[in-house]
Structure 1
Amino acid sequence: MATSEKAVSASFMEPFREILVNYLMPEKCYDEFFLNFNFLHVDCLKIIISKGLGIGIILGSVLVKLPQILKLLSAKSAEGLSFNSVMLELLSLTGTMVYSIAKSFPFSAWGEVFFLMLQSLAIGFLIQHYKGCTMKGLGFLVIFFGLLAVLVSPLTPMFVVTTMQASNMPAIILGRLIQAGANYRNGHTGQLSAVSVFLLFAGSLARIFTTVQETGDSLMVLSYIISSSCNGLIAAQVLYYWNVSPVVKKKAE
């Protein structure tokens, strides 16, 4: 391509250069795409797809559990939801967030964990609230944020953070099995939101690819593989019990 054409392209894209380089691609990929017009550069395409997915997952995570929260508020009931399962999920989310911060991974590689953690906290509180244990739910929030402040501070040794991330795998498995067991015993999925379940499943699948690309951390990759498998189990139950509700079950009995 002529030097003049490259100059025109560079001039046109200059206002967007800083945003693209800071959030979507390294400078070498910017040069490949917008100066050399090499749009089929494989390594750069992988980076952009990974970054794009990561940003999409983070934006989507803000709403992932909102349908679940709204369903609880609408029904004024937490029937079918396991508080122990929520606690184990919080352990997993917190471990991933603290580990990612300690390792200085880019926010695009783990940002959704922060928003999922906040939404899981809200669900945990609502479960306690609708069980008539509002004060217990408030105490749960205070204790959690106190522990989180300690974990993200320099006071916590790296081996503790790594151990927490390693414990994610049994925590994820146990948490999902508890929820799956509750669904099986009840013969329905209660107030479990199908939208939230399917979004979590899709997000965890996409995270396998983005984690490989952005961190290369085998511990995090394995965590997301296990998470995807367990989320897939709950999604399968939602489909299996699709036409069954607590009301229908009671009438049948």
Structure 2
Amino acid sequence: MEAARGWLVPTILPEHCFDEFFLKFNVLDVPCLKMALSKVLGFGIIAGSMMVKVPQIVKLIRAGTAEGLSFKSILLELLALMGTMVYSITHGFPFSTWGEVLFLMLQTLTIGFLIQYLGGRTTMGILFLGGFFSLLALSLSPVIPMAMITAMQATNVPAIVISRLIQATTNYRNGHTGQLSAITVLLLFVGSLARIFTCVQETNDSLMMVTYIVSSACNGLIVAQLLYYWNVRPPGKPKPQHRKKKKN
């Protein structure tokens, strides 16, 4: 039992919840059940986030083009992810409440670089990566006051909205969703919905909750477009017509 305590407390369960479940056998304690569900869900989201944008990355590499993806949208999404990560770290929130942001950020950076690389702008892509990591290091340094970090998190809401609206507008103008990965978009939508619950249970931070609610609504818009344009494909290159050889 003590071995189980060392494994579960405090990673999955608080001390008093472990006692309720395993010493008092009160497995129907609602607050502890919610806390356990939140922790398991949080780590599940983090595990899923390690691969959530991989289908999008693979699709871009296979297609050899980033048609349909907006680089401006990627930039705004990265700023929102960075703001959430910096805000969570400086406020001491548990990794289970924000860990997926780290993996989403790395994968989004890869997509941003691919957009530049596949567009023949490799140097711009390298500068983009260097500039982002420099900004991240500065944001995590002690020279940035807490008020500015809170302001960064507050700007996440408009950044997320504008980011998704840019992508939604791009989809509308093109009349299709281009190289957007349906799997990635759906997983982001489900993950942001689940994060509302974990945020309420573990942080009770109103700013974080608003961010995830808005993110869910905006991701839902892109999901709706994917469904609407499901059978529409980007116009491909015309197939070369081979002339038939005349028989002598």
TM-score of the pair, normalised by structure 1: 0.93
Q: Does 1:168 align with 2:168?
A: no
Q: Does 1:98 align with 2:98?
A: no
Q: Pick the aligned partner of 2:127 from 126, 135, 139.
A: 139
Q: Does 1:46 align with 2:40?
A: no
Counterpart AA for 1:177? L
Task: Evaluate the alpha carbon distance shift between residue 107 and residue 64 of structure 1 in structure 2; reply closer, same or farther with a 3 A threshold.
Answer: same
1:205-246 deviation per Cα after TM superposition (whole angstroms, max 9, x unaligned): 000000011100000000000000000000010011111110
Distance 1:224 1:70 in 2: 27
Distance 2:237 2:152 in 1: 40
Distance 2:118 2:238 in 1: 20
- Quote the residue 2:17 is aligned against: 29
How far has the Cα of 1:14 moved from its partner? Answer: 2.1
SS in 1 for 2:51: helix
Q: Does 1:221 align with 2:209?
A: yes
Distance 1:48 1:248 in 2: 50
- Quote the residue 1:193 is aligned against: 181
1:23-73 deviation per Cα after TM superposition (whole angstroms, max 9, x unaligned): 100010000000110000011001001101100000000011000000001
- Quote the residue 1:148 is aligned against: 136
Paired residue total: 239
1:134-177 deviation per Cα after TM superposition (whole angstroms, max 9, x unaligned): 00000000011011011011111111100100000000000000
How far has the Cα of 1:249 moved from its partner? Answer: 10
CA RMSD of aligned residues (A): 1.3
| Runs of 4+ more than 4 Å apart | 248-251
Q: Does 1:78 align with 2:66?
A: yes
Counterpart AA for 2:13? M
SS in 1 for 2:183: helix
Q: Pick the aligned partner of 1:107 from 83, 91, 95.
A: 95
The within-5 A match list for 1:224-239 is 224-239=212-227
Give the number of the structure whose residues are more often helix, by fraction.
Answer: 1
Distance 2:167 2:236 in 1: 20
Q: Pick the aligned partner of 2:3 from 15, 25, 28.
A: 15
- Quote the residue 2:50 is aligned against: 62
Q: Unaligned regions of 5+ residues in structure 2, if any? A: 240-248
Task: Evaluate the alpha carbon distance shift between residue 162 and residue 156 of structure 1 in structure 2; reply closer, same or farther with a 3 A threshold.
Answer: same
Task: Evaluate the alpha carbon distance shift between residue 250 and residue 43 of structure 1 in structure 2; reply closer, same or farther with a 3 A threshold.
Answer: farther
Distance 1:72 1:222 in 2: 32
Q: Unaligned regions of 5+ residues in structure 1, if any? A: 1-12
1:93-128 deviation per Cα after TM superposition (whole angstroms, max 9, x unaligned): 000000001100000000000000000000000000
TM-score of the pair, normalised by structure 2: 0.94
SS in 2 for 1:63: coil
Percent identity between the two aligned chains: 65
